[in-house]
Every structure is written in structure tokens, then in C-alpha cells.
């Protein structure tokens, strides 16, 4: 005990250090989350303390009444159909399918119990809910044991409910549930070294899994199990703080996986920011990306507040929230009421039935954080430009939007265009610019599997009605996006003789992005501007196609001439020797099928909507208008949507430069004429529709001529888009001292844990406290075999260390040991990643059946049974050769062992020499050791 007698001055010094650190990092003191500084009074403690419960209950009947009503509605729905929402007792049923619903719904149920403790029925349901989850031997999905995301959803919900309901649980439940949290957190920690989410940055799996591990670690920390809690928390911060440094490169507030998966990322990212500020004084609320993120949420909503831009794998709007994320931004970042206002609009316009309805497993997941983060003092105030359609360019994402977040009214139209670098500019430049060398090894540290081959794609919603849409979460084929394909193919494509963009994946659910031409896929927004009520956007997409096609330019121009009139022009310029002879354009709608139409000798297509007919027509620069193919595509099993409807316009390319014009009209306009003519320098398009005439001139991007992109004349009024409309991107420099930034955050951990250790040991030094009780601050709860799981040989009861044997700063030694483990594990994990991106994506994201075995290997943390591991074949010649030699020596050694044993039993048993018998016994013992070693080696290499 003498090693801790210097605790008093240490505590004073740490208090001063924490106070100074909190003051230094407090960039916005008026809205900062109070730093707890290790002052915990049992549970709850994650998001609020026991002393704050009464205030929360008062808010539920006053300022937060509308949010409490949503919680009440959710819980009453659960209570009315308990068998529909309670987890099953049978592990086979629990793990039979994707099971995030159980962890997602538990947080809302637990929050309701905090606000309304008199509701015994809800509290009993919550405890029954947790009992059922605790009875499971595993929270993983049976057919996807390599994917920890379902486990993360269960863990974060279970640990949050444990914290909220701790004082309502029996002593037995507290101990058993804490053990469950410790086991799941330990498993997450172990897998963080070898799974992609441990080192693939800015991907939605990373904050999801890290937030689960952090939640479990904080619960264990509060219970006094400091060693593992420190180790696991440090691992979370090491991962997430690197991501936040890299996120500084994203200057437009976007997330490259799109709006839907972006809400998945921010659901956990914002919880992480809140918790590290509350518990460790790490302030991220001045992060430059965070200050721009509201634009990503506001500028991507279609008129009517029900749908969003569906770029990349997506549904109709958001997976999680986004009300919780919006009130978070308002309270901790913006402080202007716009976040609360947008959250109100989304709540009011939520789809009750049909496309866009939140899923049963996700709709209540963020209700508790929305309640906790809502600031009623910030009155709902719309952004200053609300009501006026605005053009917005996301320079990192490569996306342009116009007319977002407006009421769904006539002539309130929405337009979007996508042409950017794979993974967004920040990730692409990090990979190709060899930036952050200490952390990043090319595309292995990022995951663009959810992206689509959609460079130069667009959407159009006149009057807020989706006319041309994205095809949502589906196969990664170019024809399922509003983009171009070419024929004949110069490379092996998915649909010969046609060839699409290089990220197209023929036999995988995920985009290709790591190797060959796919790794350098890029588009570019050349110009974007609004002038005189006309919107002009130009994109260049040649970099998204195989160099073998020899496409010099794939230019797409959009001119929004009227809220219900969009002109689209495709210009394809071929390099000498190009094999391309035809191009196909695709236009999609996921809601309704297209029908054939015609007007003035032009072929077209139309879409029937409740407010009228939405029409499109086309013609090329030779005046021809070919009949289109109208079709529907059904998605294969495994995708969440049934398919899409599309128009396929195929045309011959009659020279090195070919142009085609497409006209899209809302129900208020009818086409009178469309004429197209041009030369090598420019293209003129004449349109007569809705009683007005328009003349548009477009200059080719690489043709000499006036310093302008386009000119539009309507009713004798001219609008010129000169070179001032060009988009000018600036390279983002690597963050200086980026490794030091992470280290500064990691240094915040040790003072907090030292304070907790000192306080725990001070309480333990009181008279009558045993040494075993003192040692309990250093170890996680002892694991007991759980139902359906066999205890492994290496699993021994945890040894309780004596406090007197602890070093004065045990956490410093933990850091040293953990750094060695981290370096070896990460090098091994990254070196063993499959070279083929499809195979790696299956390991991270897919849900197909695989062969796997359960091993009872002791793990790095105190002899717990090892996790479920895939039975994969060895890759490369060296491992296979090593396994073959091991198998050969094992067989020979077994033969030698039995020969010597037979010799001992037959000959030496009768031998008069005792020395000879002893010698053979020694040889047999040595051979037994060699035999065990060979058996272990063979087992590890699966020889």
C-alpha cells in the first residue's frame, strides 16, 4: 500500500492540469458540455448524472414536450406489440438475420423509463429486453460472423440502457449485465486490430463500432475496472482522433458516402464528440468540417422535406435521424436556431406510409440523443436564404445542388449534378498525393465500396416531383445511374459489347476502387453558376472511363431555362484511334415506369404523376431522334430495393465530335420545337415551349473561342456564363503535426483514469476493506461460461492483482505494452488484407454464407476464449509451403513417438540398466513437447 501514499499531491496536480486543459480547449465556453473531471456518482453518467434526472423529467412536460411525445409514442407501440419488438430468447432466432433493431430500440425505451419512472410496465419491459439480450451467446449475425456492426448496435444500446436503468436493476442483474458489456467490449477491442473499421477512415463502420466500444469502456470505467477501460478507450481515441484529423481535409462539410450513410456516420460521430468532451475534456466543436456540415444536410433536401439527394448507396432520405444531428449542430456549433428549424420541418413532413418511411429498426434509434441535445432556448429560425432557390457547390464531394429545402409548390424545382473524384477530393488526394504517410497506405485505409459509377450523373425534380432520380441502393452498374456507356468495349465489361465507368462491379455488391484504372476514377465539375434565373452546370467525365476507350472528353452541360424546363447536352470527343462507335444515355425513375411519347417528329418518353405528365424529348446534332428503349431492372436478392425504371437512348457517334440534346419538361409546359445544330467550336440549341422561345449556345470546352461557356437568349434577354462561372479548386495542405494532434488528445485520458484510481484506492484503504477489494479496480468482471458456449481450456478465473504490486503509474506501462501490440497487430492485419477489393469488401460488409469455425484460443486479454474466426485458405506460396512442412514433421514425429513408446514397453522394460530406461523416458518427454508444439503450429496454420 505504500506505493500509493503519495496520492494527495498527485490528485491536486491532476486537478490543476485537467482544469487548465479544459480552459485551453474550450473554444466556445457558452455552449460547451461540462467536463466531469472524473466526478461520478454511480449511474447514470454517460450523458447525464443522477442529479440531472429531475431536470430532464421537468423538461419532458414543458420545453421538450414534443420530443417526449415521440418517445411516448414509440414505447406505447412497443408495449402494444411486445413480441414484435422484444428480442427472441432463442440464439438461433436472434442471430438468424441482421439484428440491429434490438440495440437501436433499447435506447429510446430506457430514456422513456428515466423520464417516466412511474411507468412500471415500460420498466419491466426494459429489464425483460435486457435479460433476453444478455442470454445470447453472441450478438453477431450467424451468416456474417466477420461483421461487428450488428454487435456494435446491440452493445451501444445495451450499455446505454445499463447506465440509464442501473438503479432499477437488481444486484444480480447489475453484475450479469456488466459482465455481458465487458465481454462484448473486449471482443470489439480485439477485432479493432484486424478488421477494416480499425484503419479504414471516414467509413460509416468506423464511428459505429468505435462508439460501441467507447460506451462499454465508459461503463466499465465508472464501475472501477480501470485497466481494460483505459486500454479500450485509448484504442477508440487512437482511431477516431485520426479520422477527425483527416476530416479536416473535407472543406465542404460533406461525407463521400452520401446523405443516407452520412446520417449513419454522424449518428455515432456526434455521440463520440459529446462523450469525449464530457468525460475527457476533448473539444471538437470548433472543427472546421463540423461548422460546414449543416450545409450538407440543408442543401441536399428536395422540396417538401421528405427526400434527399440519393447519391451512392442510399434510401429515399436518411438512415438515422437527422433530427438528432440537427439539434446537436444547433446547440453545440451554430447557435442560431436553424438546426432546430430544419429538424421541425423534417418532423412535420415525415412520410407516414410508402417510400421514404423510416424503417422499424432505425426510426427510434436517435430519439434519446435528440431529447438530450435539444436546446429549447434556441427558437426555430430558418436560414436567411430560405424560400429562394440557391445554387450550392460541394467542392470535395463533387456535387452541385439547386433549389433545396423549399416548400413543395409549383415551380419549386430541384436539380443536382455529380462529377467528382472517387471517395471525394480529400480522400482521393490523400491516396494519390501520398499524404499522412504515417497512417495511410493508399486505398487500403479507405473504403469506397458504397460509391456508384455515377460521374456526370444528374437528377431533376420539377415542382418537387421526382422526374429523373437516382436508382438508390443497388448493383454498381453504370446503366443503373444517369450516365453514359460506350460501345464497342475496349476492356472486359459487365454487359458486352457495352462498357461503363471503371468502378463498375460485375460480380460484387460493392464498387471497385483499389486497383487499376478504378483507383484513379475521377470526374470534374468545370463550371456552376446561376444568373438571371438561369442555372448552368458543366461537368467532365472522361476520367471515369477506361483509357483504352480513348475518350478525349465526355462533357455534360445542364441549363435550367425555367423551373419546369431543363436542357441537357452531351458532347463526346474521341481521340484518334478510339474504338468507340456508339453511346447510350440512361435516365431513371424508381417510382413509376416511363411510357413512349412523341412531339414534332421527335421521339420521347413521359411519366404520369398525380399533377400531370412529365415529358422528355431528344435529338442529336444531325437532327436525328432515335426511338428509345423503355425498360425496368429488377435488383438481385440481397439489395433493399426491388429495382428501377429507365429510358435508354442509344445513338451512333458519326465522327470525332458528337453531340445530343435532351429536353425535360414539367406538366405546365408543352414542346413546340427542338432544333440542334453546330460545328467544331460551338453548339446551338433552339427550344420553343410553353409559349416562349429559348436559344442556347454552348462552346466546347477545348475549342478556341470567346472566353465563355454558354449564352442563353430568352424573350430578347441574354444571359452569359463567362469564365467567371468556372469552378476553381485549391489543394488542401496536409495538416501540420498531425500525429501530435492525436497525441494531445490521448494525453487527456491518463489524468482522468489516475484520478479514478486514486479515489478508488482511497476508498479501499478504509479499515475493514480486503486486499481483494482493492485489487478489483484493476480487472474486468470475471467471465463465466454463458448458455450455449463451452468454456475453453485456456480460460481460467481472473487473477486479482494486489494493489501493493501496482506501479505508481500503471497506465503508463499499459501504454507501452499496448503500443507494441498495436504496431504488430496493425502490420499483420494490413499485410493480410486480400488483394482483391471484392474479397475484402465481403469480409467487411457482405452477408453471404461462409464456412467458419469456433476456436477456443486464448486471447491477449487474460485468457478469454478467442473470437469466432473465418476458416480461410492461406494466400501465397510461403504460408502454404510452411503448412505443408509442419504437417510432414507432425506425421513423422507421431510415428517416432509411437516407435519409441513400443520400444520402451517391449525391450527396455526388461532391460537391467536403469540408466537406459531413464534416458528413453527423457527422450519420450522431449518428443512429447515437440509433438505438442507441432500440433499447435499445425492448428494455427490449419494444415
Give the span between the Cα atoms of 474 and 452, in whole angstroms: 9
Give the span between the Cα atoms of 507 and 509, in whole angstroms: 7
Q: How many residues does the chain have?
A: 943
CA angle 892, 893, 897 (to 5 degrees): 120
Q: Is 714 left (phi over 0), alpha (psi -120 to 50) or beta?
A: beta
Residue 263 near residue 321 (C-beta atoms within 8 A): yes
| Cβ atoms within 10 Å of 22's Cβ, excluding its own | 20
473 is catalytic: yes
261 is catalytic: yes
| Three-class HEC string of 132-147 | HHHCCCCCCECCECCC
Residue 525 near residue 548 (C-beta atoms within 8 A): no
| Cβ atoms within 10 Å of 584's Cβ, excluding its own | 20
| Three-class HEC string of 875-899 | CCHHHHHHHHHHHHHHHHHHHHHHH
CA 118 vs CA 112, 115, 369: distances in Å: 10, 9, 22
Hey, is 414 helix, strand or coil? strand
* CA 373 and chain centroid, separation: 22
Give the span between the Cα atoms of 943 and 925, in whole angstroms: 24
Residue 24: all three cell numbers together = 485551453
Any idea what DSSP says for residue 906?
A: I
Residue 866 near residue 857 (C-beta atoms within 8 A): yes
Give the helix/strand (H/E) hosting 240.
helix 226-247
- Residues 314, 315, 321, 327, CA torsion sign: positive
Q: Which of 187, 256, 261, 298 is catalytic?
A: 261
Q: Which of 94, 230, 272, 473 is catalytic?
A: 473
Give the span between the Cα atoms of 752 and 612, in whole angstroms: 64
Q: Which of 4, 153, 205, 588 is catalytic?
A: 205
CA angle 388, 393, 397 (to 5 degrees): 140
- By C-alpha distance, which of 899, 884, 889 is closest to 930? 889
513 is catalytic: no
Give the span between the Cα atoms of 168 and 117, in whole angstroms: 9
Q: For residue 536, give every residue at least 6 positions away whose Cβ sits within 8 Å of its Cβ, in sequence order, or none.
A: 527, 528, 529, 530, 557, 558, 559, 560, 709, 710, 712, 721, 725
Residue 399 near residue 254 (C-beta atoms within 8 A): yes
**First vs last C-alpha separation in the chain:** 50
CA 416 vs CA 310, 641, 721: distances in Å: 10, 22, 19
Residue identified by cell 450550392 is 392
Residue 251: all three cell numbers together = 472543406
Give the span between the Cα atoms of 230 and 814, in whole angstroms: 8
CA angle 774, 776, 777 (to 5 degrees): 85
* CA 853 and chain centroid, separation: 28
**Residues noted as catalytic:** 205, 261, 473
Amino acid at each position: 500500500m505504500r506505493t500509493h501514499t503519495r496520492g494527495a499531491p498527485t490528485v491536486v496536480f491532476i486537478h490543476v492540469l485537467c482544469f487548465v486543459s479544459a480552459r485551453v480547449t474550450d473554444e466556445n465556453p457558452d455552449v460547451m458540455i461540462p467536463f466531469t473531471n472524473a466526478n461520478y456518482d454511480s449511474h447514470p453518467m454517460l450523458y447525464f448524472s443522477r442529479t440531472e434526472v429531475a431536470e430532464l423529467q421537468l423538461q419532458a412536460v414543458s420545453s421538450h414536450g414534443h420530443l417526449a411525445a415521440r418517445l411516448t409514442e414509440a414505447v406505447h407501440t412497443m408495449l402494444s406489440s411486445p413480441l414484435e419488438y422484444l428480442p427472441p430468447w432463442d440464439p438461433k432466432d436472434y442471430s438468424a438475420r441482421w439484428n440491429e433493431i434490438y440495440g437501436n430500440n433499447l435506447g429510446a425505451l430506457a430514456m422513456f423509463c428515466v423520464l417516466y419512472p412511474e411507468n412500471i410496465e415500460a420498466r419491466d419491459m426494459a429489464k425483460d429486453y435486457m435479460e433476453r439480450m444478455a442470454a445470447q451467446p453472441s450478438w453477431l449475425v450467424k451468416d456474417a460472423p466477420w461483421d461487428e456492426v450488428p454487435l456494435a448496435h446491440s452493445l451501444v444500446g445495451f450499455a446505454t440502457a445499463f447506465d440509464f436503468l442501473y438503479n432499477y436493476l437488481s444486484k444480480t442483474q447489475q453484475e450479469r449485465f456488466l459482465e455481458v458489456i465487458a465481454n462484448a467490449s473486449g471482443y470489439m477491442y480485439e477485432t479493432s486490430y484486424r478488421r477494416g473499421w480499425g484503419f479504414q477512415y471516414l467509413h460509416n463502420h468506423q464511428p459505429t463500432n468505435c462508439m460501441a466500444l467507447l460506451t462499454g469502456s465508459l461503463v466499465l470505467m465508472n464501475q472501477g475496472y480501470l485497466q481494460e477501460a483505459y486500454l479500450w478507450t485509448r484504442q477508440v481515441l487512437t482511431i477516431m482522433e485520426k479520422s477527425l484529423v483527416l476530416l479536416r481535409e473535407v472543406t465542404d462539410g460533406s461525407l463521400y458516402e452520401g446523405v443516407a450513410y452520412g446520417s449513419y456516420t454522424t449518428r455515432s460521430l456526434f455521440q463520440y464528440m459529446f462523450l469525449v468532451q464530457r468525460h475527457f475534456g476533448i473539444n471538437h466543436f470548433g472543427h472546421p468540417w463540423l461548422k460546414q456540415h449543416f450545409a450538407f444536410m440543408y442543401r441536399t433536401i428536395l422540396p417538401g422535406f421528405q427526400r434527399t439527394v440519393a447519391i451512392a448507396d442510399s434510401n429515399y432520405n436518411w438512415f438515422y435521424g437527422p433530427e438528432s444531428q440537427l439539434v446537436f449542430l444547433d446547440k453545440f456549433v451554430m447557435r442560431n436556431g436553424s438546426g432546430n428549424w430544419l429538424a421541425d420541418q423534417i418532423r412535420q413532413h415525415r412520410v407516414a406510409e410508402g417510400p421514404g418511411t423510416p424503417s422499424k429498426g432505425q426510426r427510434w434509434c436517435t430519439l434519446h440523443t435528440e431529447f438530450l441535445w435539444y436546446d429549447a432556448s434556441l427558437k426555430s429560425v430558418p436560414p436567411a436564404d430560405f424560400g429562394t432557390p440557391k445554387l450550392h457547390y460541394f467542392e470535395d464531394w463533387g456535387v452541385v445542388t439547386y433549389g433545396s429545402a423549399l416548400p413543395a409548390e409549383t415551380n419549386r424545382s430541384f436539380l443536382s449534378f455529380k462529377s467528382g473524384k472517387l471517395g471525394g477530393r480529400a480522400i482521393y488526394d490523400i491516396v494519390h498525393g501520398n499524404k499522412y504517410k504515417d497512417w495511410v497506405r493508399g486505398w487500403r485505409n479507405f473504403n469506397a465500396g458504397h460509391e456508384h459509377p455515377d460521374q456526370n450523373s444528374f437528377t431533376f425534380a420539377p415542382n418537387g416531383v421526382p422526374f429523373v432520380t437516382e436508382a438508390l441502393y443497388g448493383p454498381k452498374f453504370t446503366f443503373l445511374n444517369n450516365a453514359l456507356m460506350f460501345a464497342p468495349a475496349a476492356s472486359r465489361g459487365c454487359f458486352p459489347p457495352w462498357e461503363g465507368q471503371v468502378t463498375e462491379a460485375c460480380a460484387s455488391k460493392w464498387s471497385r476502387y483499389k486497383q487499376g484504372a478504378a483507383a484513379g476514377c475521377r470526374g470534374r465539375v468545370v463550371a456552376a453558376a446561376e444568373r438571371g434565373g438561369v442555372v448552368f452546370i458543366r461537368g467532365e467525365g472522361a476520367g471515369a472511363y477506361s483509357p483504352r476507350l480513348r475518350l478525349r472528353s465526355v462533357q455534360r452541360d445542364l441549363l435550367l431555362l425555367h423551373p419546369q424546363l431543363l436542357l441537357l447536352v452531351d458532347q463526346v470527343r474521341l481521340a484518334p484511334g478510339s474504338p468507340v462507335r456508339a453511346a447510350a444515355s440512361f435516365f431513371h425513375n424508381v417510382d413509376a415506369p416511363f411510357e413512349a411519347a412523341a412531339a414534332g417528329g421527335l421521339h420521347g418518353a413521359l411519366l404520369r404523376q398525380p399533377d400531370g405528365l412529365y415529358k422528355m424529348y431528344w435529338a442529336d446534332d444531325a437532327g436525328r431522334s432515335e426511338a428509345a428503349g423503355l425498360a425496368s431492372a429488377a435488383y438481385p436478392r440481397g439489395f433493399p430495393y426491388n429495382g428501377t425504371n429507365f429510358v435508354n437512348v442509344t445513338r451512333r457517334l458519326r465522327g470525332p465530335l458528337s453531340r445530343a440534346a435532351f429536353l425535360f419538361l414539367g406538366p405546365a409546359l408543352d414542346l413546340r420545337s427542338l432544333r440542334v445544330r453546330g460545328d467544331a467550336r460551338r453548339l446551338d440549341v433552339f427550344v420553343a415551349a410553353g409559349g416562349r422561345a429559348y436559344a442556347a449556345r454552348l462552346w466546347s470546352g477545348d475549342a478556341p473561342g470567346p472566353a465563355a461557356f454558354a449564352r442563353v437568349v430568352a424573350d430578347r434577354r441574354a444571359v452569359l456564363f463567362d469564365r467567371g462561372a468556372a469552378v476553381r479548386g485549391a489543394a488542401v495542405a496536409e495538416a501540420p503535426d498531425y500525429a501530435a494532434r492525436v497525441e494531445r488528445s490521448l494525453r487527456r485520458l491518463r489524468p482522468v483514469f489516475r484520478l479514478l484510481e486514486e479515489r478508488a484506492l482511497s476508498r479501499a484503504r478504509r479499515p475493514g476493506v480486503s486486499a481483494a477489494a482493492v485489487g478489483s479496480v484493476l480487472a474486468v468482471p470475471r467471465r463465466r461460461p454463458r448458455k450455449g458456449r463451452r468454456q475453453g481450456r485456456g480460460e481460467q478465473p481472473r487473477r486479482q492483482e494486489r494493489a501493493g504490486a501496482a506501479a505508481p503509474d500503471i497506465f503508463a506501462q499499459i501504454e507501452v505494452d499496448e503500443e507494441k501490440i498495436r504496431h504488430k497487430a496493425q502490420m499483420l492485419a494490413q499485410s493480410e488484407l486480400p488483394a482483391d477489393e471484392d474479397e475484402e469488401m465481403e469480409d467487411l460488409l457482405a452477408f453471404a454464407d461462409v464456412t467458419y469455425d469456433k476456436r477456443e484460443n486464448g486471447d491477449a486479454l487474460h485468457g478469454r476464449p478467442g473470437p469466432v474466426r473465418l476458416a480461410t485458405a492461406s494466400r501465397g506460396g510461403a504460408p502454404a509451403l510452411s503448412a505443408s512442412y509442419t504437417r510432414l514433421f507432425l506425421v513423422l514425429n507421431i510415428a517416432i513417438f509411437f516407435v519409441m513408446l513400443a520400444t520402451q514397453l517391449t525391450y527396455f522394460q526388461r532391460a537391467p540398466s536403469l540408466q537406459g530406461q531413464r534416458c528413453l523416458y527423457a527422450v519420450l518427454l522431449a518428443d512429447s513437447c515437440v509433438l505438442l508444439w507441432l500440433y499447435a503450429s499445425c492448428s494455427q496454420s490449419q494444415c
